[in-house]
Amino acid sequence: EVQLVESGGGLVQPGGSLRLSCAASGFTFSDHYMDWVRQAPGKGLEWVGRSRNKAESYTTKYAASVEGRFTISRDDSKKSLYLQMNSLKTEDTAVYFCARGQGGSYSSFDYWGQGTLVTVSS
Amino acid sequence: DIQMTQSPSTLSASVGDRVTITCRASQSISSWLAWYQQKPGKAPNLLIYKASNLESGVPSRFSGSGSGTEFTLTISSLQPDDFATYYCQQCSTYPLTFGGGTKVGIK
C-alpha cells in the first residue's frame, strides 16, 4: 500500500526556517517524481515544487513564489522527500502536502500525504 | 504562467442530478489535465488524469472530456459522498497550476 506521511510543520516567526519531511512507503521511491503542494487556510491548491526521479538526476523545479527560498531534496535510502523553507513569510502559512507523480514529465498526482500545517506568525 | 479558470465556483445540486464542471486553460495544454476531489480537512484525491482517464478505484459516474483549452468533469448521478470541492490542474507546463475550485453543495 502506497503511503506518504509528512512531518515537521509548526509555528515559526517571519524570516525563520523550517524543514518538512515526507516519508514514503509501498512503492519504488526512486522511480517517481515527488512534489510539494500547499493550501493556505480556506484557499485553493498551489504547486510549490518538484523533484524529478533518479533517471532524471533528481533535478528540481519551483514556483516563482518560493524560488530561492525553498529547496527540495530527497534521500532514496530513507525513502524520504524534504522541503527546506528559509526566509519564511506570513503568506507561506499553509498546509503542505507531498504528492507522488504518476509517471513522467506530465504526471498528475496519484497519491497524497495527509498534510502538515506551517504557520508563519510573530 | 498558464491560468486555469473553473466555473462555476459553487453549485448546489440534489442527489441524482447530473453535474458538469468546466475548466478553461489560458493556452493549449493538449490533454495534460487532471481533476481532483477534496473534502474538508483531507488531501485531494485524483479522479481523472490526462483529461479523460478514470483513475483506478474511482466510480464510473465520474468522467472527463476535452482537449486544448476546454475541459469538463461530469458526475452522471450525484451521490451523497460527492459533495466536495473539485479542482482541475494542468500538468503540461511549469509552473503547474490549479483552477480555483468548484464547491458542490447540497440543494
pLDDT band at B35 (very low <50, low <70, confident <90, very high): very high
CA distance A40 to A95: 6
Which of A84, A90, A97 has its CA nearest to residue A39?
A97
| 3-state DSSP assignment of residue B31 | coil
Report the pLDDT value the prediction gives residue A30, as an integer from 0 to 100. 95
Binning chain A into helix, strand and coil, the percentages to the nearest 5 are 5, 50, 45
Instruction: Copy the grid coordinates of residue B73.
Output: 468533469
Give the pLDDT score at A103: 81
Question: Which candidate, A75, A101, A30, places its Cα nearest to that of B94?
Answer: A101
A64–chain B Cβ distance below 8 A for any pair = yes
Chain B, 88 to 107: residues with Cβ < 8 Å from chain A are: 89, 91-92, 94-101
- A109·B92 Cβ contact <8 A: no
A46 contacts B98? CB cut-off 8 A? yes
The C-alpha cell at A76 is 532514496
A56, three cell numbers: 532524471
Q: What is the pLDDT of residue B93?
A: 96
Q: Do A108 and B49 touch (CB under 8 A)?
A: yes
CB pairs under 8 A between A and B: 57
Dihedral through CA B31, CA B32, CA B35, CA B41, nearest 10? 180
User: Whole-angstrom Cα distance, residue B101 to residue A11?
Assistant: 27
Which one of A44, A61, A113 has the shortest CB-CB distance to B87? A44
Question: What are the mean pLDDT values of chain A's consecutive 10-residue runs (122 residues total)?
Answer: 98 98 97 97 98 95 98 96 98 98 90 98 96
Minimal-distance CA residue of chain A relative to B102: A44
Q: Which residues pair with A35 in a beta bridge?
A: A50, A99
- pLDDT for A22 equals 98
How many angstroms from the chain centroid is the CA of residue B22?
8
Query: So what's the pLDDT on residue B54?
Result: 98
CB B90 within 8 A of CB B33: yes
CB contact under 8 A, B50 and A46: no
Q: Which residues contact A43 (CB under 8 A, 6 or more apart)?
A: A94
The number of residues making up chain B comes to 107
Name every chain B residue with its beta carbon within 8 A of the beta carbon of A112: 43-45
Please write the tens of the pLDDT for every residue from B55-87. Answer: 999 999 999 999 999 999 999 999 999 999 999
Interface test with A, best of B96, B98, B103 (most A CBs within 10 A): B96
Q: Return the SS3 of B15.
A: coil
Nearest CA in chain A to B58: A110
Mean pLDDT over residues B38-52, rounded? 98
Structure confidence at residue A76 (pLDDT) = 92
pLDDT > 70 fraction of chain B, expressed in percent and rounded = 100
Distance from CA of A51 to the nearest CA of B (A): 13
Q: Give pLDDT, residue A104.
A: 82
Q: Say what the pLDDT of residue A105 is.
A: 82
Bridge partner list, B13: B106
CA distance linking residue A59 with residue A115, whole number of Å: 23
